[in-house]
Amino acid sequence: MALSRSGPWTASAVVLVGVLAAWTAWTRLGAVARGTAWAEDGGLFLRERIAFGPVDTLLRPYAGYLHLGPRSVVDAALLFPVDRYALAVSAICCCLVGAVCAGVFVLARDAVPSWPLRLVLAAVPVLLPAAPWEVSGTAANLHTFGLFLAPWLFGYRVRTWVGAVALAAVTVLVVGTEAQAVLFLPLLVLSWLPSPTGSVAPAAAGGPVTPGRPGSPDQLGTPGRRGTSGRLLALPVTVAAVVTGAAQVVTALTTERESERGDPTARDVLSGWLLQTVGGLWRADVASVGRAVLDRGWSVVALPAVGIALVVVIAVVLAAVTRRRRAAVLAAALAVGSAATWTAALVANASADGHWSRSGPGSLVDATPSRYAAAAGLLLTAALVVAASVLVDGHVLRSRVSGRTGGAARVVLAATGWCVVALVVTSWVANLPGVAQRSVGPAWQPQFADAEARCRADPDAVLRVRALPWDAHVPCALVLRDR
């Protein structure tokens, strides 16, 4: 059944994708992890929210950039009884990630017209093998999923003014949460390109559209039918992205970072990316990947990396010559973005630089998933799915000269694309349900068993609540507020 681009089927599909994604993220965490506060969620974000209130903390810089999304999550979580705070943060974050998945399912339709492949693409944030380890269900790492959404926000060609305003609001939240989203700002050019002749009416009517042919929403550079008002539909998102991005840049230039900068060599960057990002696409247990490297050499991760590069490059070239330039640009941008964000993380944070090319075997066999590799892994997986979409498209090999199909080459490329999708999905299934750092606690809620009695005895007291990796301090005023 083909999904229409409008009407109840589309709305139902988008809602279903979001709900299933949120449920998947929630389930993969496990009961203990869901109820355990992580890092800044129970540390700085909570502490500053208690000290300064919601208004003064929302745009308060930390570690060199703004954290609009995480601070909003903390504000929302404190609307619930404080003994449920950790659980509320996890639930809100899982719902937001579900919204990201649903958003990608919609925003990717021009580059990935096949809804089954868009479904795979939308599932990437919640089914990446290493996602539950640290980034899923935490406000402190919500920016990772904002980075994944950014290219799709910037590159989408919006159809209505209502959509334009809504996407602009989401853009402020995303860029105001993740400073590295500015790396994808050049993709805004895609949002300004004119709609191809005949593409608007079929899309609005829900009719079938074939990529790479006249009237395709993926075909760029063809004169469009938009009026003066229609040409400005990209303006709200562009203004939101540029202004909020400028705020992030100014914040980075004027706010001192406490973390020490890294000094990785090119070999450190490459070997870490191979181990953590490429290896992490297949196994959440990157220590097992490290053991395989020690046993059989770096070829165990280098060869898959070469294969990934070949698939993406072939798809980019094929998409470009068959006028699926939107897919070509996004596949290339996502792949390059994976390498760029990984490199930037190592340069900006000494704690992220494992010196993999220079350290002993212990650093490989004791390796745990890096939150920076999770961001790079999301982008790299998305690049693969977009590339697979190009390869499996049965029309991209139609000869411009003879009008004949590509024959054997078409079959080979389509088979390659489906094999890529099958490998991605297999890696997800093999890593279910998932393991989180905080899966052993300490759980937040049980520590409030006698909190009311203690606080009534001393209303001005501050309770120390154990969390990972830092303890939280909760004033009795919050405990008694809910009683």
pLDDT greater than 80 at residue 1:
no
Other C-beta atoms lying within 10 Å of the C-beta of residue 56: 11
Confidence grade of residue 276 (pLDDT, cut at 50, 70, 90): very high
Q: Residue 353: which residues within 8 A CB-CB, separation 6 or more? A: 262, 263, 264, 268, 272, 346
**Would you state the pLDDT for residue 223?**
41
The pTM assigned to this predicted structure is: 0.90
pLDDT greater than 60 at residue 207:
no
Q: Using one digit for the tens of pLDDT, what is the confidence trace for 107-147? A: 999 999 999 999 999 999 999 999 999 999 999 999 999 99
Phi, psi of 56 (to 5 degrees): -75, -15
pLDDT greater than 80 at residue 225:
no
What is d(CA 242, CA 25) in angstroms, rounded to the nearest whole number?
Answer: 31
- Angstrom CA distances, 200 to 115, 162, 322, stand at 19, 16, 20
CA 311 to chain centre: 21
At 449, which amino acid appears? Answer: A
Coil, helix or strand at residue 62:
strand
Longest dimension (CA), the chain: 87
CA 57 to chain centre: 24
**Would you state the pLDDT for residue 197?**
37
Q: Using one digit for the tens of pLDDT, what is the confidence trace for 379-408? A: 999 999 999 999 998 555 554 434 555 578
Alpha-carbon torsion angle 426, 427, 430, 432, nearest 10: -110
For residue 157, is it left (φ>0), alpha (ψ between -120 and 50) or beta? beta
Share of the chain above pLDDT 90, in %: 76
Q: For the residues 458-483, what does the mean pLDDT come to?
A: 93
pLDDT greater than 60 at residue 224:
no
Is it true that the peptide bond before 442 is cis, omega within 30 degrees of 0?
yes
pLDDT greater than 60 at residue 449:
yes
Confidence grade of residue 256 (pLDDT, cut at 50, 70, 90): confident
Confidence grade of residue 281 (pLDDT, cut at 50, 70, 90): very high
Of residues 154, 151, 165, 124, the one with CA closest to residue 280:
124
Q: For the residues 353-364, what does the mean pLDDT come to?
A: 79
- Angstrom CA distances, 342 to 97, 180, 377, 385, 452, stand at 21, 11, 9, 20, 46
Pick the range with the lowest mean pLDDT from 231-245, 405-419, 438-452. Answer: 405-419
Coil, helix or strand at residue 251:
helix
CB 29 within 8 A of CB 126: no
Q: At which residue do the structure tokens 């208690």 appear?
A: 50
pLDDT greater than 80 at residue 209:
no
Positive or negative: CA dihedral 188, 192, 194, 198:
positive
What is the distance in angstroms between the CA of the first residue and the CA of the last residue of the chain? 52
Residue 465: which H helix or E strand, with range?
strand 462-465
Phi, psi of 157 (to 5 degrees): -95, 100
Write out the DSSP string of 284-302.
S-HHHHHHHHHHH-THHHH
Q: At which residue do the structure tokens 């998945």 appear?
A: 101
Pick the range with the lowest mean pLDDT from 127-136, 221-230, 374-383. Answer: 221-230
CB 374 within 8 A of CB 134: yes
Q: Tabulate helix, strand, coil % of the chain (nearest 5).
A: 65, 0, 30
What is d(CA 165, CA 158) in angstroms, rounded to the nearest whole number?
Answer: 10
Coil, helix or strand at residue 474:
strand
**Would you state the pLDDT for residue 257?**
82
What is d(CA 364, CA 379) in angstroms, rounded to the nearest whole number?
Answer: 24
Other C-beta atoms lying within 10 Å of the C-beta of residue 30: 19
What is d(CA 6, CA 342) in angstroms, rounded to the nearest whole number?
Answer: 38
Our separate counts of H helices and E strands in the chain read 22, 2
CB 39 within 8 A of CB 138: yes
Confidence grade of residue 361 (pLDDT, cut at 50, 70, 90): confident
Domain ranges across the chain: 8-440
Q: Using one digit for the tens of pLDDT, what is the confidence trace for 294-335? A: 999 999 999 999 999 999 999 999 999 988 989 999 999 999
**Would you state the pLDDT for residue 261?**
86
pLDDT greater than 80 at residue 22:
yes
**Would you state the pLDDT for residue 208?**
41
Share of the chain above pLDDT 70, in %: 88
Q: Using one digit for the tens of pLDDT, what is the confidence trace for 132-143? A: 999 999 999 999
Confidence grade of residue 2 (pLDDT, cut at 50, 70, 90): very low
Q: For the residues 462-470, what does the mean pLDDT come to?
A: 95
What is d(CA 399, CA 332) in angstroms, rounded to the nearest whole number?
Answer: 24
**Would you state the pLDDT for residue 353?**
78
pLDDT greater than 80 at residue 214:
no
Coil, helix or strand at residue 65:
strand
